[in-house]
Amino acid sequence: MNFGRALPVRLAQCLCFLLTLAAAALHADPGTDALDAYLQDTSVQQQLRDHGVEAIRLAWMEACPQAPGGFVYGLQVDAAGDPSPVTIYLTLDGALVAPDAYEALGLSSQAARPVALSTDTEINVPLPDSKTQEAPPALLDVLATEYLTPVLDPKAFIAALAGPEKDLFVTGGVLPLEDPIRVTGADATAGEWAPASGGRWVWTLNLVALGAKGQRIHFSSVALPEGATLLTANEARPEEVFSIPSGDDYWSPTCFSEGVVLQCMAPDAAAIPLVSLLIDKITYQFIDPIEAAREKQAGSCNNDTPCFPDWESEAKAVALWGTVNNSGNVSFLCTGSLLADLDPSTSLPFFLTANHCVSSAGAASAMEFFWFYERAQCATGDLPVRNLSPRTAGGADLLFTASDRSGTDVSLLRIRNTPPAGVSFLGFSTQPAAVSTGVVCIHHPQSDYKRISFGHLINTGSPALGGEPLQPRARFNEVLWDDGTTEGGSSGSPLLRTDTGQVIGQLYGGRASCSARPEPDYYGRFDVSFPSLCAFLNPLLSPFDLNRTCTIDAADLQLVINAALSLSGAAGTDLNDSGSVNAVDVQIMIQAILNPADA
C-alpha cells in the first residue's frame, strides 16, 4: 500500500480517533505531551500495526497558521509495502489532512533523511542599533500605594521538574493572587489614579512580594486607549523599566526585586474610562541568577568562554532564557541559540532549543532572552552586570517541536522582538557526524554566566546503564566531555562541530557532570530534525523541491511520475506549465536531480 497516494480509510479513522483524544486533552494550549502519551500506549501501537503501520519514526507539532488552532500534528511512519517513510498530517481536532492540501496549508512531506546542505556561521549580523530604536520608557515621579502578596515556600517547587534530561533550572513558583488586581476605568481594586503634569493622569501601584528575589507579573488582559502606556519597573532600580502591550495572557519581563512598580499613564482624563487591565498571578522568584553565580553553584570544571577567544563570535549567538510553565506552576531557565536561515538577505531571529524546555505556544509567548551574560575576561574580574541586561522580552512564536520520546527533543522558535546589536547567528550542518568528531557546547550551567565545554562523539553508551545509550543514536548524538561538562540550565544549548562551528544538535541531557566524567550527554540530532525545519529555515525553496525537504531527489521525481500516470494530482508537478504533466516534466525533474546547482 502507498500512503503517499491514498491513505487507507481504516488507518485514517484510527489515527483520527487517537488524535481527537489527544487534542481534547490539550485544550487551549496544545503541546506534544498528549500526542506522545497516546503514541507510546501499547494498545495504540497494536492498533497502528493492525492498520499497516510498521513503525513510527517521528512525531511532532508544527506551526500552520492556515489550520484550525494554528498547528498540525505530523507523524512519519514506515508503512507495509512502502519503501520510504511516509508523512501524515492531522489537525488538532484529529482530522486527516489530504496530501493534495499540503501546499495550500504550507506543509511539507518530510522524508527525514540527511540532506547535503549546510550553512556556515553568520558572525555579528547587523541589527538595528540603539540609536535607531525608540527611547526607553521612564516612570513618572508619582507616589505608589503598596499591594502585598503572600510569601511562597520554595521547597514545594524545587523538585517540580525532575527527569533524565538536564534538569530545568527552576527559579520560582507561580503564585495566584488571592485578590486579583483589576483596573476598569476609574475603578481600581488596588492603587489609585492621580493627576500628573501636562494634563495626564497616572495609576500607580507597588506590588510587593516580601522575600522574593524577583517577580514576573501576569497580565490576564490589557486594553489601552491611544496615547496610554503601561509600565513595570524594578523598585530597587527604577531605571529598569519595561513596556506592557495591550492584549491577553502576557507575562512581564522579570524584575529582580521584591517590589515591582506598576504605572499606567492616560494622556488625559477622557482616556481613563477606556483603560482596562487584570493581573491575576505572579512568579515568586526565590533564586536570583546573579546571586547563584556569586555562590558558585556551577561545577568547578566549567570553562569561562572568554578563555577561548576563537569561540567568541559563536558565544554571542547563545542566550540564557526563561519562561513560565503553567502546568508545572514554575518559572525556570534554559539555554538556546540563534540559528541562521538559508536566505542570505535576511537575519530573522530563529531560535533553537529543547522541547523539554518549551513545547507549547503558551510557554513560547512567555519567553524572555538574556544576551551576553558572561565574564568580560578569562576567569577574572567582576561578574556580569547586575540586571542581566541586555534582554529581549515579548516572547516568541513556536514553529516546530518534537519530544525526546518520538523525536529529537527539539523546538524551533522565532523571537518576536529584535535581539540587540552584536549578536551572532549560528550556521548548521545537515550531515550525520561520525563517531570521534570533535564537538563544542556553549551553555549556561545552573543559569550561571556563559561557559564552554569540549568533547567528542562516542557510541559506547552510559556506564550507569551498562553501556546502553540513554537515547537512541538514530535520533541523538552521544557526547563524552574531554574538558568541561553541562548541568541543569544547560538544556537546549547548541552542539557545534569543532572544525566548522556548525550546529549538529541541541542538549537533551545525560548523566555527565564534574564528578561523573565517564558519563555521556545526549543531543538531539540536527540532521534528523532538519527536514522538518526546512520549510522555516529555507524560504527560497526550489520549485523542483516538490515535497519541501530542502533537497531535490527521487522522492520529488516519484511525485512527477505519479502525476504523469494520473495516480495523484500533487501541486507543482507541471514543471513547464504546459497544462498537463507528462514525460517532458519527468525529464525536467531528472535533469534537476542530476544538476542541482542549476535547479
SS (H, E, C) 222-276: EECCCCCEEEEEECCCCCCEEECCCEEEEECCCECCCEEEEEEEECCHHHHHHCE
Contacts 24+ apart (CB under 8 A), 131-140: 136/241, 137/229, 137/231, 137/241, 137/242, 137/243, 138/239, 138/241, 139/231, 139/233, 139/238, 139/241, 139/261, 139/263, 140/196, 140/197, 140/200, 140/202, 140/204, 140/263, 140/265
Rounded to 10°, the helix 33-40/42-50 angle is: 70
| Dist CA 19 CA 4 (whole Å) | 20
Pairing of strands 494-497, 410-415: unpaired
- The position carrying cell 535547479 is 599
| Dist CA 168 CA 182 (whole Å) | 33
Tell me the torsion sign for CA atoms 487, 339, 321, 531.
negative
Q: What is the pLDDT of residue 126?
A: 56
Give every CB contact of residue 525 below 8 A, 6+ residues apart in sequence.
408, 432, 475, 476, 477, 504, 505
Choose between 316 and 576: higher pLDDT. 316
| Dist CA 538 CA 264 (whole Å) | 42
| Dist CA 122 CA 140 (whole Å) | 41
114 φ, ψ (degrees, to nearest 5): -60, 145
Tell me the torsion sign for CA atoms 342, 351, 362, 19.
positive
Q: What is the pLDDT of residue 14?
A: 53
- Residue 232 banded pLDDT, cuts 50, 70, 90: very high
**Residue 111, pLDDT above cutoff 60:** no
Q: What is the pLDDT of residue 24?
A: 45
- Over residues 488-495, the mean pLDDT reads 95
Q: What is the pLDDT of residue 27?
A: 45
Q: What is the pLDDT of residue 545?
A: 79
**Residue 107, pLDDT above cutoff 90:** no
Tell me the torsion sign for CA atoms 456, 457, 462, 467.
negative
| Predicted structure pTM score | 0.87
What helix, strand, coil percent values describe the chain, rounded to 5? 20, 35, 45
| Dist CA 373 CA 177 (whole Å) | 32
Q: What is the pLDDT of residue 3?
A: 40
CB 203, CB 192: distance < 8 Å: yes
| Dist CA 114 CA 185 (whole Å) | 58
- Kindly write down the DSSP assignment for every residue of 121-176, as one continuous string: PBPS-----GGGSPPPP-------EEEEPPPP-THHHHTTT-SSBPPPEEEEEEEE
pLDDT per position as a tens digit, 247-296: 999 999 999 999 999 999 999 999 999 999 999 999 998 888 777 666 66
Domains of the chain: 145-158+175-285 (2.60.120), 552-599 (no CATH)
| Dist CA 400 CA 529 (whole Å) | 10
DSSP state of 106: T
pLDDT per position as a tens digit, 169-212: 888 888 899 899 999 999 999 999 999 999 999 999 999 999 89
Tell me the torsion sign for CA atoms 418, 421, 423, 425.
positive
Cell output for 368: 524572555
Q: What is the pLDDT of residue 329?
A: 77
| Dist CA 307 CA 318 (whole Å) | 16
**Residue 504, pLDDT above cutoff 90:** yes
| Dist CA 375 CA 71 (whole Å) | 40
Task: Tell me how far apart the terminal alpha carbons of the chain are, to the nearest angstrom.
Answer: 31
Choose between 378 and 252: higher pLDDT. 252
Contacts 24+ apart (CB under 8 A), 562-567: 562/4, 562/5, 567/5
Give every CB contact of residue 9 below 8 A, 6+ residues apart in sequence.
none
